[in-house]
Structure 1
Amino acid sequence: MSKNSKGFCSACLRDQLKCNRGKPKCDKCNERGTKCSYSFELKWGGRQYKDMSRSAGIPNTRFYKGALLVKDKRLIASKSTRRVRQFLQFGQEEISFASSFEKGYKVTVRQHKQGEKQQPKETLVFDNKTPVSLASPCDEVVPVTQTAPANMAPELVGLEPGKSSWEVSTFFDLFINETAKFFVAFNSQAFPNPYRTVLPQMALSCPTLMKLIIAFGAKHRKMIAMVDEEANYPSLEENGWPSEDFEYLGENLLNQALSELVEKLRNSRGRTDDSTIAIILLLSSIGIFFNDDRGNWRTHYNGAKRIVFNELEIDEKSGKHPIYYRKNSQPHFFVLRWFIYLDIVGPLSSGFFHSKSEEVPRPNLNFNWLYGENLDQSSMESLEDISPLNGMDMKLLSFLTRVSQLVMQKKTSSADQGNHFKIVSEAICLDYKISNHLQESEAQRDIVVKKLKALSDATMEKRLERYDILRTSNLIVGLTGILQLRRRIVEMAQDSDLVTQLVQKVTDLIRAKITVNSPTLSCMSFCFFTVGCELVDDSMSIHRNVYRDRLMSLWKKGVPSVLQAINVMEECWRLKKPWWVVLEEKDLDICLAF
């Protein structure tokens, strides 16, 4: 073969034959009937002498031999890596933070009782400067006008200046613009999402809270990448760059936040502020959202409960001091609403678990001042009687409070037959009250909507469309509360008419009104789970995809905890057992109180 073999086809080079470089096929390959192919040296762009060292200034990139490569691959994971990491624990450390939190919460309460008795009982100091009156349930609404900065400086979360600023801003922005949507039923300009406004503002003055927000965004970003098949860059993997977690930075921030919270509780001397409670509730939400043991939702929820009792000067044994549900936009009332929602919906979507932490009594929540007859009518006429934050009207929320309390009471009443019958009797009465409220309120709303539709206003049509979604959410949540009374408290059989008819009604509403892309999916996830688990009979199996598809839609949006809920739901269908029994038998403590 000729020494000058440049340009020979690959077959001639392999067999050491002289190639005439014929195109598209050389003579040798034609004679032998073999495949003829040529290798070409590819160059980027059409200008061979262009200065390849110059770049367009794209963030997080660098040039290597004329090719644009990603500099820091923390935000890229291969397809195989995503599949493996999907079910990994958040951290690898074996330190049990739960016990530290339990001790910290108890020490905080004990120190307060010993050293802070001079604090007036009618006030709550939430910023160590301004006392807030707790005596009156009505306070002036102060609108939130400030917004959090779009670009987050690393110095705000204890990082070196200029280090990882891009990731910090990215994860913070993701939480504000995407993750925060899962905490409310409907994002509305009339009712700004406090997780996008109030919570970030609180974080600006609390580095620990800011670290948690960024860590939350990092974990969510990782989950989005796991389920997004388009987030795969095999060519970059082949260049030898190591693949790192989306939450590389977030994990470090979460570790710091956990340690800082423990230290904060130890040194608080009984004095805690709203930011501390927000930190604990956000940790609980991390546990709920990601089903993560590092952010065990129940541990943090009970810790928050102790601190709330402590700050409100409530006797844990009696719990008589009421906590009023206020719509005010100040951080203090936002944190209390957050705690109240978790206190109500948490037990409705979790099983019976026996632990010393649950011996903390539940607070006495008061909603009475919120839903007087005049207020109900006026708010209904303005289409504001159903909160877009939780997808419920306040009267229904107060009823669900009692449903949640009965669920917890039923757990401890097994040995006391007299108390058991009392709880069942109250559940039957509550069933009637909720059913009657839903029927009457829906009839009133029909009248209001009929009048407003006659206006033929384009703006009003959009408001009515949104209002219809909220009405459906309110109705489904209310019917789910009735189902919990009948199944978990009264212990009606799954195949009884009062249960099957109720399940069918909820199913029809979901199929007709709640699409797989509905903005209310997250706030109704506990409804999808608890009602879907009742489809154990073969005659109801045709409806199973209605619930599975909507929970899977949340999974595809980066909410991993619903995947375990789907597994439990399918286990209920297979074993024909109640979902709370399956949870207890398998020692699973899931919660869908988003």
Structure 2
Amino acid sequence: MYIFLMPYDDAERNPYRALLPEIAVAEPHLLSLLLAYSASHRARLLGHKEPEVRMARWITDVIPRLNSDFSQSPGHSNASIANLASTIMLSSLEIISPNAFGSKIGWQNHLHFAREMMMSHCLWRPDTNTKEGECCAFLWSWFAYLDVLGSLSGGQWSNEISSKWVKSYEIIGREHPNPDEIDCIMGFTIRCVSLLARVSELCRKTTAQRMLPGRKINLNWQPDNETRETAEMLAMELRESLSRDSRVCQHIRPGSVDHKSLLEMFSTNEAFHWAGLIHLYRRAMGKTREDPLVQEAINKIVYHMSMIRRGGTGETGFLFPMFTAGCETLDMQHRIDIKKRIENVEAHGMKQDTVGRGVANIGSQVSQAKHLMLKVWETGDPWETLMQNEFIG
């Protein structure tokens, strides 16, 4: 699973290879989820049908066990860390394989549970100088990636998110000793994740104002002065963050990364900044697709996409910027290039047949993103109005 988040994989220091299995060996329910996740991905990679019965058998008791343990696990105990990892894993599994094991609990619900667990057990960005702290830091990065991109993906569920959650990201952005360090799990800087959380919160509020009955967007909508000022300030902060000298994270050993991999890391980080700007311009400031600022951001993402090797693992972490630019671009060549890139990601085992699943549940998040983007091109409608249960990332 590590290839779907990490733009660069150090076999010796990748926490998905080291920390996660170490936690799972001591916790049967997490180990069961790892087996189910691995079985799902292996089947996709080989083009086989997922072993749904076996997967369901592995995780039948996991959710009741987590509900039982939630109120009993104090602080940073091994149990609470394992439960958090299990809840994040459930969300990830539901994202890549919706309803594969028949629980009918969406990824949003698992993510909400993980957020509650994070806050109640004070697991936000702990000291990484201890083994326990290192585990929590790894889980925070994994969770934050799903949490922020999930909230940016929109949908009705995002209205249920408390506005308090964004404060946690703001505090982390201010207090982190190296906010311009590119987190190797997420693919962008700590400063960027804090800014994207604020973009998501603002877009959540403006979507409620822009959306008409029947899931239509009010094309004449314009933000009030307070919203416009907030959006303009956020846009300035994103551009200021882009101008900073970002650096690779501490997990990457000096001299262990080739120049091309480094270029991919920096390009991915910048692309997420530009994607955040597109969301601001379109959803919070009411700008049209033709607006020069929107087109500038699209062109920047397409440029950075050209820095990512075709068919490499770097493409898998680039889905959100690709989707964002793909939905808004008016350039046919851009559309062709982005569609091909997303299909490359599908070839990494993130594609699923649609037979028996219906249009609303078309398979993995990559296939869902592609079909949603194609529908935007076909109808010309904003992607938010076509959104159902997709996770874009």
TM-score above 0.5, yes or no: yes
Structure 1 residue aligned with 2:139, among 313, 335, 343?
335
Q: Does the CA contact (< 8 Å) of 1:305 and 1:360 recur in 2?
A: no
The amino acid across from 2:95 in the alignment is: I
The amino acid across from 1:557 in the alignment is: H
Structure 2 residue aligned with 1:389, among 158, 170, 185?
185
1:410-425 counterparts in 2 under 5 A? 410-412=206-208, 420-425=224-229
* Residue 261, structure 1, aligned to residue 38, structure 2: no
Cα offset, 1:299, TM superposition: 0.5
Cα offset, 1:248, TM superposition: 4.0
Q: Does the CA contact (< 8 Å) of 1:325 and 1:367 recur in 2?
A: no
Cα offset, 1:562, TM superposition: 0.9
CA distance 1:418–1:490, change in 2 (3 Å):
closer
Give the aligned partner of residue 186 of structure 1: 8
* Residue 551, structure 1, aligned to residue 346, structure 2: no
Give the aligned partner of residue 483 of structure 1: 278
* Residue 590, structure 1, aligned to residue 390, structure 2: yes
Structure 1 residue aligned with 2:91, among 281, 284, 289?
284
Relative to the length of structure 1, the TM-score reads 0.54
* Residue 502, structure 1, aligned to residue 297, structure 2: yes
What SS does the corresponding residue of 1:565 show, helix, strand or coil? helix
Cα offset, 1:546, TM superposition: 1.5
The amino acid across from 1:471 in the alignment is: F
CA distance 1:245–1:196, change in 2 (3 Å):
same
CA distance 1:212–1:543, change in 2 (3 Å):
same
Q: Does the CA contact (< 8 Å) of 2:142 and 2:185 recur in 1?
A: no
* Residue 437, structure 1, aligned to residue 241, structure 2: yes
The amino acid across from 1:439 in the alignment is: S
Structure 2 residue aligned with 1:296, among 89, 106, 109?
106
* Residue 492, structure 1, aligned to residue 287, structure 2: yes
1:161-180 counterparts in 2 under 5 A? 179-180=1-2
The amino acid across from 1:580 in the alignment is: E
Give the aligned partner of residue 102 of structure 1: none
What SS does the corresponding residue of 1:203 show, helix, strand or coil? helix
Cα offset, 1:216, TM superposition: 0.7
Q: Choose between structure 1 and 2 for higher RCO, CA contacts under 8 A separated by at least 6 residues.
A: 2
CA distance 1:395–1:245, change in 2 (3 Å):
closer
Whole-angstrom CA distance in 2 between matches of 1:338 and 1:573: 32
Cα offset, 1:557, TM superposition: 1.4
The amino acid across from 2:83 in the alignment is: T
Q: Does the CA contact (< 8 Å) of 2:223 and 2:286 recur in 1?
A: no
Structure 1 residue aligned with 2:196, among 400, 420, 429?
400
User: Structure 1 residues 486-495 or 269-278, which shifts more?
Assistant: 269-278
Whole-angstrom CA distance in 1 between matches of 2:35 and 2:28: 11
Q: Does the CA contact (< 8 Å) of 1:187 and 1:193 recur in 2?
A: yes
Q: Does the CA contact (< 8 Å) of 1:413 and 1:420 recur in 2?
A: no
Superposed CA offset, 1:84-126 (max 9, x none): xxxxxxxxxxxxxxxxxxxxxxxxxxxxxxxxxxxxxxxxxxx
Give the aligned partner of residue 354 of structure 2: none
Q: Does the CA contact (< 8 Å) of 2:73 and 2:80 recur in 1?
A: no
1:7-406 counterparts in 2 under 5 A? 179-188=1-10, 192-226=13-47, 246-265=51-70, 268=72, 273-292=80-99, 294=104, 296-312=106-122, 323-324=124-125, 330-348=134-152, 350-354=153-157, 357-359=160-162, 361-363=164-166, 364-365=168-169, 366-371=172-177, 385-406=181-202
Whole-angstrom CA distance in 2 between matches of 1:462 and 1:323: 29
Structure 2 residue aligned with 1:522, among 293, 296, 316?
316
The amino acid across from 1:225 in the alignment is: L
Cα offset, 1:412, TM superposition: 5.0
The amino acid across from 1:541 in the alignment is: M
Structure 2 residue aligned with 1:428, among 202, 227, 232?
232
Q: Does the CA contact (< 8 Å) of 1:351 and 1:581 recur in 2?
A: no
Cα offset, 1:490, TM superposition: 0.8
Give the aligned partner of residue 267 of structure 2: 472
What SS does the corresponding residue of 2:14 show, helix, strand or coil? coil
Superposed CA offset, 1:180-239 (max 9, x none): 22231211257x221221111111111001100101111112212227xxxxxxxxxxxx
CA distance 1:269–1:477, change in 2 (3 Å):
closer
* Residue 532, structure 1, aligned to residue 350, structure 2: no
Cα offset, 1:534, TM superposition: 1.0
Q: Does the CA contact (< 8 Å) of 1:284 and 1:295 recur in 2?
A: no
Q: Does the CA contact (< 8 Å) of 2:268 and 2:304 recur in 1?
A: no
Cα offset, 1:357, TM superposition: 4.6
Question: How many residues of Structure 1 are paired with residues of Structure 2 in the alignment?
Answer: 353
Relative to the length of structure 2, the TM-score reads 0.80
Q: Does the CA contact (< 8 Å) of 1:302 and 1:357 recur in 2?
A: no
User: Structure 1 residues 254-263 or 212-221, which shifts more?
Assistant: 254-263
Q: Percent identity?
A: 22
Whole-angstrom CA distance in 2 between matches of 1:541 and 1:418: 28
Whole-angstrom CA distance in 2 between matches of 1:472 and 1:261: 38
CA distance 1:520–1:294, change in 2 (3 Å):
farther
Superposed CA offset, 1:148-203 (max 9, x none): xxxxxxxxxxxxxxxxxxxxxxxxxxxxxxx222231211257x221221111111
What SS does the corresponding residue of 2:60 show, helix, strand or coil? helix
Whole-angstrom CA distance in 2 between matches of 1:255 and 1:515: 40
What SS does the corresponding residue of 1:521 show, helix, strand or coil? helix
What are structure 2's unaligned runs of at least 5 residues? Answer: 212-220, 248-253, 351-363
What are structure 1's unaligned runs of at least 5 residues? Answer: 1-178, 228-243, 313-321, 377-384, 446-458
* Residue 576, structure 1, aligned to residue 383, structure 2: no
Cα offset, 1:355, TM superposition: 7.3
Cα offset, 1:572, TM superposition: 0.3
Q: Does the CA contact (< 8 Å) of 1:324 and 1:367 recur in 2?
A: no
Whole-angstrom CA distance in 2 between matches of 1:529 and 1:434: 19
CA distance 1:252–1:503, change in 2 (3 Å):
same
User: Structure 1 residues 199-208 or 394-403, which shifts more?
Assistant: 394-403
Cα offset, 1:439, TM superposition: 2.9
The amino acid across from 2:236 in the alignment is: Y
Whole-angstrom CA distance in 2 between matches of 1:299 and 1:278: 15
What SS does the corresponding residue of 1:589 show, helix, strand or coil? coil
CA distance 1:252–1:420, change in 2 (3 Å):
farther
What SS does the corresponding residue of 1:520 show, helix, strand or coil? helix
Q: Does the CA contact (< 8 Å) of 1:206 and 1:275 recur in 2?
A: yes
Superposed CA offset, 1:232-264 (max 9, x none): xxxxxxxxxxxx854442231022323433444
The amino acid across from 1:565 in the alignment is: A
Q: Which of these two proteins has the greater Rg computed from alpha carbons?
A: 1
CA distance 1:466–1:414, change in 2 (3 Å):
closer
The amino acid across from 2:290 in the alignment is: D
